[in-house]
Structure formats: structure tokens, C-alpha cells
Amino acid sequence: MRMTVIGTGYLGAVHAACMADIGHEVLGVDVDVEKIRALTEGRPPFFEPGLDEVLTRALASKRLRFTTSLEEAARFGEVHFVCVGTPQRADSGAADMRHVDSVVDGLAARLEDSCLIVGKSTVPVGTTARLTARLATARDVELAWNPEFLREGFAVEDTLRPDRIVVGVTSARADRTLREVYAPMLAARIPYLSTDPATAELVKVSANSFLATKISFINAMAEICDAAGADVVTLADALGHDSRIGRRFLRAGLGFGGGCLPKDIRAFAARAEELGVGDALSFLGGVDAVNLRQRRRTVDVARELAGGCLTGRRIAVLGATFKPNSDDVRDSPALAVAAAVHGEGAEVRVHDPEGIHNARLAHPELRYESEPAVACAGADVVLHLTEWDSYRELDPDKMARVVRSPRLLDARNNLDAALWRSAGWTVRALGRSAPALAAAAL
């Protein structure tokens, strides 16, 4: 099948490469000339494990190419996937729909043959109905919604072997077309849910809101544990044994960030207000507040470890991206903490395995190092802020020899606290008071 993927950012680049890899003819489209050049040369414009291999295979097969021409795309595609961003608006929590609207308007003015437009962007409920009216001038064109569920760091796997495929359609023809698009996945018995567009639009924002709520819940419990002298890790383990709750997303720490969860829960709440049911999602304001408070709590603990004042202290920061296995620093809790510590007068040195370039663009005032030991040299406090596997492999004895003072804040609850303490480190972790950490080491 001939398809276009309009927007070659994180979602679009992965979708285009993977769709070509499973046998479709794909044309990727973007207004960014440099991005199109990089993709054409087989260079992903961001770090994502496995994407370079899939992109190389797809280009070599001649089933994938890229262009900046929407006119060419309109002539080429039987199916057009809309994968452009829906960032938070500058003046509110609502989603900025200008990019999606522009793509649909651009296609409507250029389409000549029957086709299916499929939205994959995360949008407010009611978007399909609103945009269908904008397609009134286009002959025999349908609009469907097929939300993405990609996790950064696992995007290729999530595209080729997703947990489920959800499509929102208004005709049997559209459903048949999407079943053909995803035929290899259906052959592998991946669940396929065909529903109305409004329900499909709600699935993604509902899933993200639930995950954000679960993360903020355990972080709220971490704050209680700190006050009560309890251990949030053991608490989460105990909760996770309840099959109704489960252990996933119950790791207390610095909280969530990135380009999806924060803006999606705000946009969902804003849309509920527009629909007149804002009270139904009022709890999301609390979820957001708990998440942001984790950043302030982390700075507070860092200040305590530094002796009550950060001014003039050298602080090492391990991790800049919002999560491991990514170079994405959008709304990164790690960078927010690093910047806040710097704002209190500390000398901050940051290391990250993949995110230094993007971090430097976002926060040029910070100092960046290519090796963890160099970032930690002479440090008064070490802050572990992104849970890269490589940080678990650090030798606490060796690290103790390069710092000025062996004091560690594990804001992700991902390091072996007992191992670090045995090497002479003072270790703090959110939700794990000193008595709780001592008990955990027994």
C-alpha cells in the first residue's frame, strides 16, 4: 500500500521507517529541510534504540523515501498518516492544534483521488468531527483516528509489536483499509479495537492520565514515607502484589516529564472544561502539582546534603534526559533540578549518555562533561536524576575517590543504596528515610 507520513519527528520518523520495513511504500513528509536530508541519508534526527537499523533497511529496500512537498504527498498516498505535534499552547493548558489543522487544510486543497487520512497525533476529543468539516471540499476523502502508544526508548518495538491497535472510523471501508495497513500485526494476533473516532481519541489521553496519576500517587506516598520514617520501595512492592494495582509505574522518584504526559494531562483537563465537565478531571490538577513538587523536594534534599546552602558548592548531576534510552530533554525533571540548583549559586556539572547536545541547547548556562567521573570530580554532592543503566554500573569505591565529599541523592530510587553506603557514601533517596534505608540494607 502507498502511504504518506506527514511529520517526521519522533512519532513520524519511527512510523514511516517501520511501515516501510513491513512492506508498504512510504513517503515521509516534513517542512524541515535538514531533517529530511538527514533521514534520506539514513541518519535519525534523534536517538532511539533500533531506529537506525530499521531506517537503513527501509531505505535500502527502496520502499521509503522523504520529501518536503505536500503536493507530491497528496498525489502519492492512498493513506495519509498525520503525525505532527500538538504542543501545549503558550496561553493555556490546551493543545495547540495549528500543525494538525494546517496539514489537513493543505491536503484538502491538493487531494484529487479517493483516500483515507489517518490522524496519529494526540488530540482533544472531538477533533475528527471538527476536521471532517474542513475536508468538505475534498472528494471522496475520509478521516479516521489511530492514536499512537509509543514509549521513547522502545518506539520501534511498540510500533512493530504494539500492545494493541486502536482505530476510530466511520465506515467499513476505512476499517478495511487500516486492517490492511496493520495486516502483519493482526496476523501476529495483536489486539485490534475498531471504534468510533471520539472513543479512539480518548484512549491515548486516558492512558497517559492514568499512568501520570499512578506515578504521582506513589510520589505522594514517598512524601508521606519521608515524614513517617517508612520505606516507599517496600510499600510499592506490597501494593504491586495486589493484582488490581500492579507494580508497574509505582517507582517513586523525581516524577514524569517529556513531550507527552505533562502536556497531555493539561490538555485533557482543558478539553473537559470546554465540554462543561471540568470537575470530572479536576484531580489531574493535583497529579500535575505532585509531579512538579517532586522537583522542588529534590532541590530541597540536595540543599540539605550540601549543608543547608548550595551557593558555591560543586554539584554533579547524572542524567539530563527526561528518561533513559532517549536524547529527549523536553520538560526534563533532571534538567529542571539542575537549573534550579545552578540558580541557587551552585557550580553544576552534568553528564548524560545521549542527551548532552540537546541539554546544552536548552540550558547553556550549565557545564557538561562526557564522562561521569569527570562530572563528579571534586563534587560536594552527586545527584542521580535519570536512571540510565550505565549509572548502576558505576563503582562506588572509585567514585568516592574522585568526589570532594561522598554524598549521593538517588532521586530515581534506582541505585543499590547498600552498596554505595558500604563504600562510605551518605545516601538519600526520595521516600526512603535514613532508618528505612538502613533497614533495607539488612
What's the rounded Cα separation, in Å, for the pair 342 and 315? Answer: 9
**CA–CA separation, 56 and 43 (whole Å):** 8
Catalytic, out of 83, 260, 309, 376: 260
316 beta partners: 349, 382
CA 383 – CA 299 distance, rounded (Å) = 10
Are 301 and 409 in contact by the 8 Å Cβ rule? The answer is yes
Among candidates 390, 379, 431, which has minimal Cα distance to 410?
Answer: 431
Distance of CA 44 to CAs 5, 11, 186, 279, Å?
15, 12, 28, 42
What residues are paired with 141 via a beta bridge? 115
Residue 351 three-state SS: strand
Name the β-bridge partners of 28. Answer: 5, 66
Q: How many Cβ atoms sit within 10 Å of the Cβ of residue 393?
A: 8
Is 83 tagged catalytic? Answer: no
- Backbone phi and psi for residue 123, each to the nearest 5 degrees, phi listed first: -135, 160
The catalytic residues are: 260
